[in-house]
Copies of this chain bind each other. A is one copy, B any other.
Amino acid sequence: MIQTPTLIIDEDKCRANIRAMAEKARRNDVIFRPHFKTHQSHEIGSWFKDEGVDRITTSSLTMAAYFSKAGWKDITVAFPANILEIELINQLAQSIVLNIVVESLETIHGLDNNLKENINIYIKLDLGYHRTGIAPEKEELISEMMEAIDVSQHMTMKGFLGHAGHSYAATNQSEVARVHCESTRLIVETRNKYVEQFPNLLVSVGDTPTCSVIEDFRMVDEIRPGNFVFYDLTQMHIGSCTAPQIAVALACPVVAIHAQRNEIIIYGGGVHFSKDTLDHREYGNIFGLAAEDNGESWGDLLDNVVLRKISQEHGTIQAPSSYIDLINVGDVIKILPVHSCMAADLFSTYHLSSGKVISRLTH
């Protein structure tokens, strides 16, 4: 029985999300290398194995080490290489195919001077998101980096990697499609410039909005979406998923009711949901939306039952009187989160709707 804020995963929905993306990758004949930063769980990783997945992405070396312990043998760390962790890089490279992302000559030299094992290298390109990566027009720098990788003893130049994170700013599918077309064109053109000298260069892309909305990925070699495993309200808002595809909810005890101001106080705050907000068309700035409780899982979104404010452990739900009249202190409300990656990161265990409790990487 739920007593404290609990993250619940609907296994059927989650497996359906995994299956749909795996099938899309197969139809396109591209490598499906899902990003595991969203779930960070051995058990959920095994659901990907059930769909034939054998290559994964993580956002840290720590996370790569965690998944290597569950038997994953080919891992891309899609984060600029942190040369301070060279020991862990060497250690992982002993037992798995380790793919590392670089975006500067300094990092390549830092790796080259300290590597004892072989690793694959992807050069990170900035496809318009302007967070990390090299602008594709910096051809001289890219050439110099590829040369440095090529002459190194332990590094193999494997391809180009991009993350069109600006797809998250989209609010409809055609905007997502535009981001996809532009970013894919950029990365494929860059690859084509170097393909004579390096004939086997791969192109790796993939964020959940584009991988969910776009059907044709035949121009690229690999996709790396992550969030789709759970989806969330942000993805629904972008148009990547529908509400019934969202596979995660937070079950939160009701601790107080302020009917006069149409508010319910839940045990469930920033340390459970994170503080990511969504600017919702109807409700303005929100932290979550409540769904019908149908026992072990949840049903449709409830009209106008909105998580409006959170502090460390408190959440304030705004709801119509007709809903508040049905709620008592000691009830549990199920709430779909704005950003499932960040919420999941705040729990050390997940409860499956079957009742089973599974563990995940803890910090």
Which A residues are within 8 Å of any B CB, using their own CB? Answer: 1-4, 37, 59-60, 62, 79-85, 87-88, 103-104, 106-107, 110, 130-132, 165, 253, 255-257, 261, 265, 267, 270-271, 274-276, 309, 311-314, 316, 328-330, 332, 341-342, 345-348, 362-363
Q: How far is the CB of A338 from chain B (nearest CB, A)?
A: 11
A59: which of B103, B313, B330 is its contact (CB, 8 Å)? Answer: B313
Name the residue of chain B whose CB is nearest to the CB of A85: B3
Q: Which residues of B contact A311 (CB under 8 A)?
A: 131, 165
A4: which of B85, B131, B255 is its contact (CB, 8 Å)? Answer: B85
Q: Which residues of B contact A309 (CB under 8 A)?
A: 131
Q: Which residues of B contact A59 (CB under 8 A)?
A: 312-313
Given the known inter-chain contacts A84-B330, A267-B79, A346-B363, please indicate yes or no for A256 contacting B132, CB distance below 8 A: yes
Q: How far is the CB of A249 from chain B (nearest CB, A)?
A: 17
Given the known inter-chain contacts A256-B132, A348-B363, please indicate yes or no for A106 contacting B328, CB distance below 8 A: yes
Q: Which residues of B contact A270 (CB under 8 A)?
A: 274, 276, 342
Q: Which residues of B contact A271 (CB under 8 A)?
A: 342, 345, 363
Between-chain CB contacts (< 8 Å), 16 pairs: A3-B84, A3-B88, A4-B62, A4-B85, A37-B313, A79-B267, A82-B267, A104-B256, A106-B257, A107-B256, A107-B329, A131-B265, A131-B311, A312-B342, A312-B345, A347-B363
Name the residue of chain B whose CB is nearest to the CB of A81: B255
* Complex Cα–Cα for A299 and B316 (A): 39
Task: A3-B88, A37-B313, A80-B256 are known; give 19 further A-B pairs, CB within 8 A.
Answer: A3-B84, A3-B85, A4-B60, A59-B312, A59-B313, A83-B329, A83-B330, A104-B256, A104-B257, A104-B329, A107-B256, A131-B314, A132-B265, A132-B314, A271-B345, A271-B363, A274-B274, A346-B346, A362-B362
